[in-house]
Amino acid sequence: MLTVMQIPVLNDNYIYLLRDYDSGLTAAVDPAVAKPVLDTLAEQGWHLDFILNTHHHSDHVGANHELKNKTGCRIIGAKADNHRIPGIDIEFSDGDRFRLGETLFQIIETPGHTSGHIVYYSAEDGVLFCGDTLFAMGCGRLFEGTAEQMWHSLQKLRALPSATRVYCAHEYTMNNGRFALTIEPDNAALQQRMREVRRLRDENQPTVPFTIKEEVATNPFFRADVDALKTSIAMETRPPLAVFAELRARKDVF
């Protein structure tokens, strides 16, 4: 069994501290900064064993060296990005597995935001740590990959069990939802979700985690092959990839 602690840092980043109950092994996902992680570890009486990086951006690997120096933790990241994940010790590719004590993670490659982006999925615990690939009602910008790569990556995540709880690396939900409403203003599930998102943000509560099921119903980037969305933007005759690329281009200037 896995305990997940959510640590909000910087403007809108989330760092996750994972604790495997049986073994006591602990991991930090995408530590942008060190102090909040060290403080939380001290409060809980935990020792940091691993860092799990999803990609090389500084707001995800910023504390790698400091945390490794202070705790002796080992750093896990994508083999494809081993030249730019600071302090990397363990390199994983698509389909590899990693055990945090009794908790088994599967590594899924999701290029698009960066070419070497990976995500960590535990089927038993029903949790996904997806960095900057999938956001609530959104997806990462295409800094290195193509629209085709990102569309393929998102389809891999869409295929996970619908109850999977998704822990992304940013609180971008409100802005993503506003954009989604410009694409599908008549989507009742989207309208309902945005009411809930506004309530949570008014109370300064996180909107993360969320579920794959919610994304299937409301995330335009998951819905580029759904007739209702295509019709809503008058692209019903276009292939899903063209629709996805159009959505991404519109969001870039939203």
Burial of 252 (0-12, 13-18, 19+ CB in 10 A): exposed
Minimum distance from residue 131 beta carbon to Fe ion (Å):
7
Task: Cite the active site residues.
Answer: 55, 57, 59-60, 113, 132, 170
Smallest gap from residue 143 Cβ to Zn ion (A): 7
Considering Cα of 115, then 58, then 107, then 241, what sign does the dihedral take?
negative
Q: What is the contact mask toward Zn ion in residues 89 to 128, using x (rule: CB under 5 A)?
A: ----------------------------------------
DSSP reduced 3-state for 15: strand
Instruction: State phi, psi for 27 to the nearest 5 degrees.
Output: -135, 150
Span 184-243, contacts to Zn ion by CB under 5 A = none
Cα three-residue angle 148-254-174, rounded to 5 degrees = 95
Classify residue 221 by its DSSP letter.
G
Closer residue to Fe ion in complex, CB, 109/132:
132
Binding residues (CB under 5 A) for Fe ion: these are: 59, 132
Strand partners, 214: none
Cβ closest to Zn ion, residue 79 vs residue 141: 141
133 versus 232: smaller Cβ distance to Fe ion: 133
- Position among 132, 184, 214, 215 found at the interface with Zn ion (CB under 5 A): 132
User: With contact defined as beta carbons under 8 Å apart, do 5 and 40 qualify?
Assistant: yes
Nearest distance, CB of residue 55 and Fe ion, angstroms: 8
Residue 132 beta carbon to Fe ion: minimum distance, rounded to whole angstroms: 4
Q: Is the dihedral of CA 98, 10, 139, 80 positive or negative?
A: negative
Interacting residue ranges for Zn ion, rule: CB under 5 A: 57, 132
